[in-house]
Structure 1
C-alpha cells in the first residue's frame, strides 16, 4: 500500500526531542484561521479531532490528523512532514518555543499510486 504521509529526517529528530519533553504526541492540520494550514504538534489528547476529520498516517508512531474539509481538498496528495527554522503563524504548536515550525510539502499521487493508497481513519 502507498503511504499518504512521510517524515523527513529533520522532522523525525524534532519529534523525538518533543517526545522526550512532553511524552506522547499527536499532530493536527487545520484548514485555516490563525494557524493557517500548518501542522500543529500537541501532547496526545491536547486536541480533539472533529467529527469526520481524517487520520492519514503516523509520524514516528503518532497520529497525523487533518481537518475534514482540508482532506477533501488534499485527498489525492502525498504529505511530507518537514521542519523549518522560524515561527509558524499560530504559535500553538509544541515546537514553537524552540524556534522551529513544522511544514508539509505536497505532491500529487499518480494514477497507479491512487489505486493502492492506505485507507484513512475518520473520527466519529
Structure 2
C-alpha cells in the first residue's frame, strides 16, 4: 500500500525534540481561517478532530489529522511534512517557541499509486 504521508529528516528532528519536551504528539491540518492550512502540532489529545475529519496517516506513532473539506481538495495528493525556520501565522503549534514552523509539500499521486493507496479513517 502507498502511504499518503511522509516526513523530512529535518522535520523528524524537530518532532523528536518536541516529543522529548511534551511526550506523545498529534498533528492537525485545518482547511483555513486563523492558521490557514499550516499543519499544527499539539500534545496528544490537545486538539479534537471534528466529525468526518480524516486520519491521513502517522508520523512515528503520532496521528496526522486533516480537515474533512481540505481532504476533499487534496485527496489525490501525497503530503510530505517539512519544517522551516521562522514563525508561521499564529503560533498555536508546539514548534513555534523553537523558531520553526511546519509546512506540507504536496505532489499528485501517479495513476499506479492511486490504485494502491492506504485507506483513510474518518473521525466518527
TM-score by length of 1: 0.99
Deviations 1:24-55 (A, max 9, x none): 00000000011010100000000000000001
What's 1:113 paired with?
Answer: 113
What's 1:80 paired with?
Answer: 80
| Cα distance in 2 between the residues matched to 1:16 and 1:41 | 12
| SS in structure 2 at match of 1:105 | strand
| Cα distance in 1 between the residues matched to 2:90 and 2:60 | 23
**Cα root mean square deviation, aligned:** 0.5
Stretches of structure 2 lacking an aligned partner (at least 5 in a row): none
| Cα distance in 1 between the residues matched to 2:88 and 2:120 | 26
What's 1:39 paired with?
Answer: 39
What's 1:69 paired with?
Answer: 69
| Larger displacement relative to structure 2 (77-86 or 56-65) | 56-65
Q: Shift of the alpha carbon at 1:90? A: 1.9
| Cα distance in 1 between the residues matched to 2:51 and 2:119 | 17
Alignment length (residue pairs) = 124
Instruction: Report matched runs for 1:7-46 at 5 Å.
Output: 7-46=7-46
Q: Shift of the alpha carbon at 1:61? A: 1.4
Deviating 4+ runs (over 6 angstroms)? none
| Cα distance in 2 between the residues matched to 1:31 and 1:88 | 15
Tell me if structure 2 keeps the 8 A contact 1:15–1:60: no
Tell me if structure 2 keeps the 8 A contact 1:54–1:121: yes
Tell me if structure 2 keeps the 8 A contact 1:53–1:68: yes
